[in-house]
Amino acid sequence: MQVLRETNLQGLALAKKLGKKGTLELLAKRGLVGRGGASFPTHKKWERALSVKTNERFLICNADEGEPGTFKDKFLIKNNSETLIEGILIAAFVLDAKRCFIYLRAEYDSLRLELEKIIKKVLKKSKMKVSIEIVRGAGAYVCGEETAIIQSIMGRRGQPMEKPPYPTIKGLWGKPTVLNNVTTLTCVPQALLYEDWNPNYRLFSISGEVEHPGVYEWELGVKMSTILGTVKPKGKMKAMSFGCFGGIMPVYKSNRVSPALICDKNCHHGAYSLIFVGEKKNIVDVNLSMAKFYTYESCGKCTPCREGTIRLVELLKKIKSGQATNKDLKLLKELANHIQETSLCGLGASCGNHILTGMKNFKKDYKGFIKKK
Amino acid sequence: MKIKLNGKHLEVNGNKTILDICKDNGIKIPTLCYHKNLFPEARCRLCLVELNGKLVTSCSTKPIEGCKIVTKTKKILKARKMNMELMSPGISMDKLGNDFEARKIYEEVGLDNERFKPRKNYKVELGDSLVRDNNKCVNCGRCVQVCSKVQEVHAIDFASRAHNEHVTPYCEKTLAGVACIRCGQCLINCPVGAITEVSHLGKVETALKNKKKQVIVQTAPSIRAALGELFDMKTGSLVTGKMVTALRQCGFDKIFDVDLGADMTIMEESAELVRRIKSNETLPLITTCCPAWILMMEQSFPELIPNMSTCKSPHEMLGALIKSYYAKKAGIDSKDIIVVSIMPCVAKKFESTRPELYTDVDYVLTTRELGRLIKKRNIDFANLPDSEFDPTLGISTGAGDIFGTAGGVMEAALRTTYEVVTKKKLKKVEFKNLHEFKGIKEGSIKLRNKTIRYACANGGANIRELLKHKDDYDFIEMMACPGGCIGGGGQPIYFDDETLKLRSKALYKQDSKKELRKSHENPIVKEIYKKCLGEPGSKKAKKFLHTKYKKRSCF
């Protein structure tokens, strides 16, 4: 795997040799984009934070990997944390950040002690005067959202804030703050160091009804049949879901997995966590269990998400019970759309996606429950 | 910055929010969680507009150069309606009181669909002065922000996530179990009436029906400047005469003026100040008219107890005098007297239950409760003739009137202290530096060879700020509510500082029109001291007019 290549602080040495500007230029040339799901060019994010004149900048490594079916960050922290810390140090060098944070998912606490040791070891080796603190989340899914992470680190209620101002301009304690995903930061030294580094490789977290779930690395545009051939599905696959938030779409064996194809089905690839659903499952059930997830994980700040998510569950339950009419189906669609359009943060903006795509791509499953007059 | 607002090209200030720009251009946008004095958290999502085709909340979004903003399309109206419907399922118009902000918004947005059933099932919390009903709450977060940012009390906050998110005191306790100071600012800022006062109205009505008891009512200075608002009169109308007439029609036997209690407070407090300066006792002396501030002090600053004046608050003083001086004078057994105070305050309800004070005043009504009583009796308030307080304990000075506004107690005390100490007439009765609408006001005055440095703070955050420099002063006035009693938790619900300014102006006007403007000139005050108490600070005065404080736990 490309992402497991070790760099032994050579990336940091190269960055120091190139200087800030040179490092940013090289990252741009190599085409490194954010691996958290938004695919924002990493060098641009850093440049934005650098454009603010200030005496202090912060770096946060987002290790609050809460999306159901995603476990690539856990895999990286377990298997290549030295490169990750090196990536953090390179970012700290470019941004002049004296304090860096790793916001670690509460459920990953078992990784903490080992990670702390590695931080100490790498820091000692690098001789950089930077502090890297591990901040543990309290188990909220919403704290993977960047503004919520900032609130949480500052000791406040983990709720997203309105953007703009973006964290790169005004983040932790009002200072410019860069948030990067674990995978992105791990890629930084590798991208700098290796000329054959391929920007199109992505980590896929595969789970669901397959024989071999786990983390795989493929190039974007990989054939569906390749994926299926490797992970060995248990029987015929009906659908695949991109985490909870990305939506759900049918499995086409002949297709290639690329952003264009996924967007074509109104889905969002996110961090490429694929949950496979077998043909015996009904999509309404899948949607219901996902909707339930959101009724616990919405932060409760804004009305549409707080009140809407629980109503979505109510409606889905009604549909499943066979009591629903076409009117309810219409309301379900309207409500899911409404939450997406009027919510404050990314959680709200995507929490109806699985229902909308489910209704669009698996009409039959929904129609089957509707009461006939 | 150039923008296009509803098809019109405009040149606007890019630092303003879209909501403010719309307001400047006469476009009305419904808002619920937005409050001028608070940070726009954009929780309710009612103020949606389209910015370049995307729905955004206007209260928290600033325009972008050359953007297109539309405020009224089918999509926007539908989205607002849906949010309203989600926020308050099952709330119908008739269940909602008239005085709450939400009613107007419901009417504006229109609430015709009721597709969702009410789902909240919280226990109503009945406290000693405030009632919290989370079932009515729409999670707008204004009470939380006022409590933590304006008052810096931090008694309530949100707990839990998602649909379980609710406002609650620390660890799901009751307000009485945490460091709540009962200022009632949460109530004033609640748009749906989920927080209300504990009503004493029923008990007062029962008392009024009891022929054997003499029910005496006393009204606080700030009521007269705000009561009219409940009857659609102009903000800042003075309704002293009408209020007295209405109280008489409601059946109260005697109507006294807390202004007189205020005058008594000044006599005692000023004597205490002079004594403390002369004998080098603890300074600064801090006023104790505000029960919310006293509670805050007992919970958070118990080390200040030696600094506190021992004077009771004005209505407790007058209550004590009614049950002693007046009872003796009128030949009534004090057990047959029921004293009702009309107060701008919910903390006074708590104060009247303090063991050391509970005999003085029996019931406390807020301005809003009085309004309800008057409406219940079908009295046409706006067209009532004027009448006077009962003279036995109803003559007061302008100094008493200004007690209702922040800085008033200080001004009244300075007027009396100056003249009593220097034996000279004040050249200018008004202290204009105390009339400003500001959180912290300060100044100094020369009394013979000693300069008295004084300061006033209103609003919890300002109190905390002033306490950081308390040793720079000799005399400090503290008021827990922004603007003083005119902005109290028992007053008619108000939305902006303009209302407070008008109410305060009305009180200053009443003061300026009075012939007697200094407490020590009040003939009744003189008579009470002559016939009953001796002189300010005497043993007898201490017994009736002074009290004590104790340290309280915050938890």
CB B402 within 8 A of CB B289: no
Catalytic pick among B348, B349, B441, B518: B348
**Count of domains forming chain A:** 3
| Closest Cβ opposite residue B162 in set A162, A295, A342 | A295
| Residues B193 and B231 occupy one common structural domain | no
pLDDT for B392 equals 83
| Residues B339 and B303 occupy one common structural domain | yes
Q: What is the CATH number of the domain that holds B42?
A: 3.10.20.740
pLDDT for B56 equals 93
Tell me the whole-structure pTM to 2 decimals. Answer: 0.89
Are A342 and B161 within 8 A, CB to CB?
Answer: no
| Residues B376 and B251 occupy one common structural domain | yes
| Residues A154 and A27 occupy one common structural domain | yes
Chain A: nearest CA to B84, how far in angstroms?
Answer: 9
pLDDT for A218 equals 94
Task: Tell me the pLDDT tens digit for each residue of B353-362.
Answer: 888 887 889 9
Residue B297 three-state SS: helix
What is the rounded average pLDDT of the residues A247-254? 88
A338 within domain boundaries: yes
What is the rounded average pLDDT of the residues A88-98? 94
B56 within domain boundaries: yes
**pLDDT band (50, 70, 90) for residue B395:** confident
A89 within domain boundaries: yes
| Residues A65 and A127 occupy one common structural domain | yes
B278 within domain boundaries: yes
| Residues A315 and A343 occupy one common structural domain | yes
Residue numbers in A near B138 (CB within 8 A): 303
Task: Tell me the pLDDT tens digit for each residue of A339-371.
Answer: 999 999 888 888 999 999 999 999 999 999 998
| Chain B residue whose CA is closest to A313 | B163
Closest C-alpha to B130, from B478, B490, B500: B490
B553 within domain boundaries: no
pLDDT for B36 equals 87
d(CA A185, CA B291): 56
Q: How many CB pairs under 8 A join A and B?
A: 86
Q: Is A227 on the interface with B (CB under 8 A)?
A: no
Secondary structure of B354-398 in HEC code, one letter for each residue? CCCCCCCCCEEEEHHHHHHHHHHCCCCHHHCCCCCCCHHHCCCCH
Residue from B45, B105, B113, B121 whose CB has the most chain A CBs within 10 Å, to mutate: B45
Q: What contacts A182, CB < 8 A, 6 or more positions away?
A: A61, A62, A63, A65, A72, A73, A76, A77, A84
Q: Is A297 on the interface with B (CB under 8 A)?
A: yes
| Residues A138 and A117 occupy one common structural domain | yes
Are B86 and A303 within 8 A, CB to CB?
Answer: yes
Are B161 and A299 within 8 A, CB to CB?
Answer: yes
Strand B54-57's sheet: what is its strand order?
Answer: B8-11, B2-5, B68-70, B48-51, B54-57
Closest C-alpha to B475, from B407, B427, B547: B407
Residue from A303, A330, A340 whose CB has the most chain B CBs within 10 Å, to mutate: A303
| Chain A residue whose CA is closest to B113 | A331
| Chain A residue whose CA is closest to B115 | A331
Name residue A14's beta-bridge partners. Answer: none
pLDDT for B480 equals 93
pLDDT for B96 equals 63
Name residue A83's beta-bridge partners. Answer: none
A372 within domain boundaries: no
| Residues A265 and A143 occupy one common structural domain | no
List the beta strands (DSSP E) in B160-207. Answer: 166-169, 195-197
| Residue A373 confidence (pLDDT) above 70 | no
Pick A137 or B103 by higher pLDDT.
Answer: A137
Domain finish residue from B197, B222, B242: B197
Chain A: nearest CA to B441, how far in angstroms?
Answer: 30
CB B221 within 8 A of CB B262: yes
Are A338 and B115 within 8 A, CB to CB?
Answer: no
Name residue A135's beta-bridge partners. Answer: A103
CB A30 within 8 A of CB A199: yes
A149 within domain boundaries: yes
A346 within domain boundaries: yes
| Residues B252 and B139 occupy one common structural domain | no
Is B50 one of the catalytic residues?
no
A70 within domain boundaries: yes
Q: Residue A324 sits in which domain range?
A: 283-367
Identify the contact set of chain B against chain A, taking CB-CB distances under 8 A.
40-45, 48, 55, 57, 60-62, 79, 82-83, 86-87, 89, 115-116, 119, 138-139, 157-158, 160-165
Residue numbers in B near A335 (CB within 8 A): 82
| Residues B159 and B222 occupy one common structural domain | no
Domain finish residue from A219, A252, A278: A278
Strand B337-343's sheet: what is its strand order?
Answer: B254-257, B214-219, B337-343, B363-366
- Sort strands B2-5 and B68-70 into parallel, antiparallel or unpaired: parallel
Which helix (H) or strand (E) is B121 found in, with range? none
**pLDDT band (50, 70, 90) for residue B553:** confident
pLDDT for B108 equals 81
d(CA B544, CA A133): 61
A172-176, A256-260, B94-98, B314-318: segment of lowest average pLDDT: B94-98
| Residues B167 and B208 occupy one common structural domain | no
Q: Is A325 on the interface with B (CB under 8 A)?
A: no
Catalytic pick among B268, B269, B298, B442: B269
| Residue B23 confidence (pLDDT) above 70 | yes
Peptide bond into A41 cis (omega under 30): no
d(CA A321, CA B483): 57
Domain finish residue from A278, A312, A334: A278
Task: Tell me the pLDDT tens digit for each residue of B446-494.
Answer: 888 888 899 999 999 999 999 999 889 999 999 999 999 999 999 998 8
| Residue A275 confidence (pLDDT) above 90 | yes
pLDDT for B91 equals 66
| Residues B235 and B355 occupy one common structural domain | yes
Count of positions (residues) in chain A: 373
| Residues B333 and B360 occupy one common structural domain | yes
Is B351 one of the catalytic residues?
yes
| Residues A128 and A221 occupy one common structural domain | no
Q: What is the CATH number of the domain that holds A287?
A: 1.20.1440.230
Catalytic pick among B309, B313, B341, B352: B309
What is the rounded average pLDDT of the residues B75-93? 83
Task: Tell me the pLDDT tens digit for each residue of B171-219.
Answer: 888 888 888 999 999 999 998 888 999 999 999 999 999 888 899 999 9
| Residues B174 and B229 occupy one common structural domain | no
| Residues A161 and A81 occupy one common structural domain | yes
pLDDT for B330 equals 87
pLDDT for A217 equals 94
Percent pLDDT > 90 in chain B is 47
What is the rounded average pLDDT of the residues A57-72? 93
d(CA B339, CA A93): 73
Residue numbers in A near B135 (CB within 8 A): none
Are B163 and A344 within 8 A, CB to CB?
Answer: no
Closest C-alpha to A98, from A55, A43, A63: A55
**pLDDT band (50, 70, 90) for residue B540:** confident
Q: Residue B256 sits in which domain range?
A: 201-545
d(CA A202, CA B397): 81
B550 within domain boundaries: no
| Chain B residue whose CA is closest to A347 | B162
Count of positions (residues) in chain B: 555
Are A342 and B41 within 8 A, CB to CB?
Answer: no
What mean pLDDT is reported for chain A? Answer: 92
What mean pLDDT is reported for chain B? Answer: 89
Task: Tell me the pLDDT tens digit for each residue of B409-423.
Answer: 999 999 998 988 888
| Residues B218 and B300 occupy one common structural domain | yes
Which residue type does B540 have?
K
Task: Tell me the pLDDT tens digit for each residue of B114-137.
Answer: 788 888 888 888 888 999 988 888
Which residue type does B160 have?
S
| Residues A137 and A255 occupy one common structural domain | no
- Can you tell me which residue has the tokens 């047959």? B336
Are A307 and B87 within 8 A, CB to CB?
Answer: yes
| Residue B282 confidence (pLDDT) above 90 | no
Are B165 and A306 within 8 A, CB to CB?
Answer: yes
Domain finish residue from A152, A172, A193: A193
d(CA B157, CA B167): 5
| Residue B93 confidence (pLDDT) above 80 | no
Is the interface score ipTM higher than 0.90?
A: no
What is the rounded average pLDDT of the residues B1-15? 90
pLDDT for B295 equals 92
pLDDT for B92 equals 61
| Residues A208 and A343 occupy one common structural domain | no
| Residues A176 and A306 occupy one common structural domain | no
| Residue A372 confidence (pLDDT) above 80 | no
| Residues A132 and A84 occupy one common structural domain | yes
| Closest Cβ opposite residue B158 in set A157, A303, A311 | A157
B551 within domain boundaries: no
**pLDDT band (50, 70, 90) for residue A304:** very high
pLDDT for B428 equals 85
What is the rounded average pLDDT of the residues B93-107? 71
pLDDT for A82 equals 93
Are B162 and A298 within 8 A, CB to CB?
Answer: yes
Q: What is the CATH number of the domain that holds B219?
A: 3.40.50.1780
A264 within domain boundaries: yes
| Residues A300 and A270 occupy one common structural domain | no
Chain A: nearest CA to B13, how far in angstroms?
Answer: 17
Q: Burial level of B233, CB count in 10 A (0-12/13-18/19+)?
A: middle
Percent pLDDT > 70 in chain A is 100
d(CA B276, CA A95): 59
| Residues B190 and B261 occupy one common structural domain | no
Q: What is the CATH number of the domain that holds B172?
A: 3.30.70.20
pLDDT for B494 equals 84
Q: What is the CATH number of the domain that holds A262?
A: 3.10.20.600
| Residue B113 confidence (pLDDT) above 80 | no
Which residue type does A162 have?
E
Sign (positive or negative) of CA dihedral A74, A75, A80, A86: negative
Residue B340 three-state SS: strand
Q: Burial level of B553, CB count in 10 A (0-12/13-18/19+)?
A: exposed
| Residue A186 confidence (pLDDT) above 80 | yes
d(CA A61, CA A64): 9
**pLDDT band (50, 70, 90) for residue B97:** low
**Count of domains forming chain B:** 3
Are A310 and B45 within 8 A, CB to CB?
Answer: no
What is the rounded average pLDDT of the residues B531-545? 86
A373 within domain boundaries: no
Q: What is the CATH number of the domain that holds A88?
A: 3.40.50.11540
Secondary structure of chain A in HEC code, one letter for each residue? CHHHCCCCCHHHHHHHHHHHHHHHHHHHHHCCECCCCCCCEHHHHHHHHHCCCCCCCEEEEEECCCCCCCCHHHHHHHHCHHHHHHHHHHHHHHHCCCEEEEEECHHHHHHHHHHHHHHHHHHHHHCCCCEEEEEECCCCHHHHCHHHHHHHHCCCCCCCCCCCCCCCCCCHHHCCEEEEEHHHHHHHHHHHHCCCCCCCEEEEEEEECECCCEEEEEECCEEHHHHHHHHCECCCEEEEEECCCCCEEECCCCCEECHHHHHHCCCCCCCCEEEEEECCCCHHHHHHHHHHHHHHHCCCCCHHHHHHHHHHHHHHHHHHCCCCCHHHHHHHHHHHHHHHHHCCCHHHHHCCHHHHHHHHHCHHHHHCCCCCC
- Output the six-digit token pair for B276: 């403390």
- Output the six-digit token pair for A155: 């000791």
Is B348 one of the catalytic residues?
yes
A12-16, B44-48, B133-137: segment of lowest average pLDDT: B133-137
d(CA B145, CA B212): 47
Phi–psi pair at B390, nearest 5 degrees: -70, 130
B117 within domain boundaries: no
Domain finish residue from B54, B85, B116: B85
Catalytic pick among B242, B441, B485, B504: B485
